Amino acid sequence: MITGEGDTRTVIVERQFAAPAEKLWRALTQPHLIEEWLMKTDFKPIEGHKFTLRKDPTPEISVVIDGEVRAVEENKTLSYTWSAYGTETVVTFTLTPVDGGTVLRLEQAGFSADNKAAIKGANASWPTFLTELEKLLTRID
């Protein structure tokens, strides 16, 4: 879903996972697990920590995202900047325990309304990433 008013847009994706918040939190914050569903990273869940997400799908193509952790509330909320291709947004994960698992709400906020390619890319990519996250959760304890 894409929302927004005025000059900025937000991409929002919600998904329920059949896993407790603690398990989902580990997948969102441990670098070796983040690599399984998102990209290689030197991420640490510490406010102010600067990190890079990187994917090299082919020898000619390299995707590099720079980030900085903005907020950490263990098993509840994680927020960081996402800077790529001249666009800086803020990604926020919110975990809500429910019967049978956890609802994950992902918001990527701060897209310029006229940056349609970035908005479209995020709206298409996050559901794919979350599908990979769901697969990972079935493989880890």
CATH number of the CATH domain containing 67: 3.30.530.20
**Tally of structural domains, the chain:** 1
pLDDT at 31 over 80: yes
pLDDT at 129 over 90: yes
Whether 141 maps to a domain, the answer reads no
- Cα torsion 110, 30, 37, 122 to 10°: value is 0
* pLDDT given for residue 3 in this prediction: 75
Whether 114 maps to a domain, the answer reads yes
For 97-117, what is the mean pLDDT? 95
pTM here? 0.93
For 85-98, what is the mean pLDDT? 95
Question: Whole-angstrom Cα distance, residue 134 to residue 3?
Answer: 25
* pLDDT given for residue 141 in this prediction: 84
